[in-house]
Amino acid sequence: MNELVDDFRKIIEWTGSEKIDLLGYSFRGELALEFASNFLYLINKIILSSPSMINLKTQYMIQIAGFQSIADMTLVNRIEEILKKNTSIEHKYKQVWEIVDQETIDRLLFVDPEVASKYRELVIESNLHNLHNTGRMLTVLQENSVTPPLYERLNNIHHKTLIITGVYDRSTGIPISNLIHRNLSNSEWILFNNSAHFPELEETENFVSSVLGFLKA
């Protein structure tokens, strides 16, 4: 995490920016909060779309429960067997991801299967499909966690912040967004009623309108 924060600092120095707005999706939302925590006077406004909080074990529990909620019964039973093992929640999480197929992942992340299919096409077209969700960065972040963790520093972040969450988000979910919202002193929270983890793709017009309205206010 410290390396990512330092990279951000170098980019800002290179661009010569004096004040910037940040928009971060999922882990990038969490990363935006890390930047704000480290560069209090450099950040103007923050937009968080489906933000994560990977230092919380709750984050892993939410996603495992999300898979359980949309999996077929065979997969449900396999996940139950993993949960019975005397291992850490992080290890259980990794094992669950090793047994889920692409169709189940799409049901986890999207409401509309057509949007899910289009997203997969874009990932392949961008040539990122071999790098997408390998888990390597998560492992590095887990092994090099920041102290104190971000969730304990949220109340020190006072930038005006917009949080956007799909009500069907089974990946990071409403509980994580609610935790962030409650602990930021200057945030507003919008729920998108027809989205899961990608509100910018499933409700694009609403997303763009909300972001632009927030930035212009």
pLDDT in tens, 40-51: 888 999 999 999
Mean pLDDT, residues 127-149 taken together: 66
Give the pLDDT of residue 84. 96
**Pick the residue with more confidence: 40 or 163?**
163
The reported pLDDT for the residue numbered 15 is: 87
Query: Please, which pLDDT band fits residue 7 given cuts at 50, 70 and 90?
Result: confident
What are the strands of the beta sheet with 20-25, ordered from one edge?
Answer: 20-25, 43-49, 160-166, 187-192
Looking at 3.40.50.300, 3.40.50.150, 3.40.50.1820, 1.10.530.10, the CATH number of the domain 2-55+147-216 comes to 3.40.50.1820
Domain ranges in the chain are 2-55+147-216, 57-141
The tokens of 150 are what? Answer: 């971000």
- β-pair type (160-166, 187-192): parallel
Mean pLDDT of 63-88: 96
pLDDT of residue 131: 47
Q: What average pLDDT does this structure show over 136-143?
A: 66
Residue type present at position 74 = T
Contact 134, 120 (CB under 8 A): no
Asked whether the predicted pLDDT for residue 128 surpasses 90, the reply is no
Least reliable range by pLDDT among 132-141, 170-179, 184-193: 132-141
Q: Compute the average pLDDT of residues 115-132.
A: 78
Q: 23-33: per-residue pLDDT in tens? A: 999 989 999 99
Of 121 and 202, more confident: 202
By percentage, how much of the chain surpasses pLDDT 90? 71
**pLDDT value of residue 138:** 64
Cβ–Cβ under 8 Å, residues 80 and 96:
no
In the prediction, which pLDDT does 175 show?
A: 95
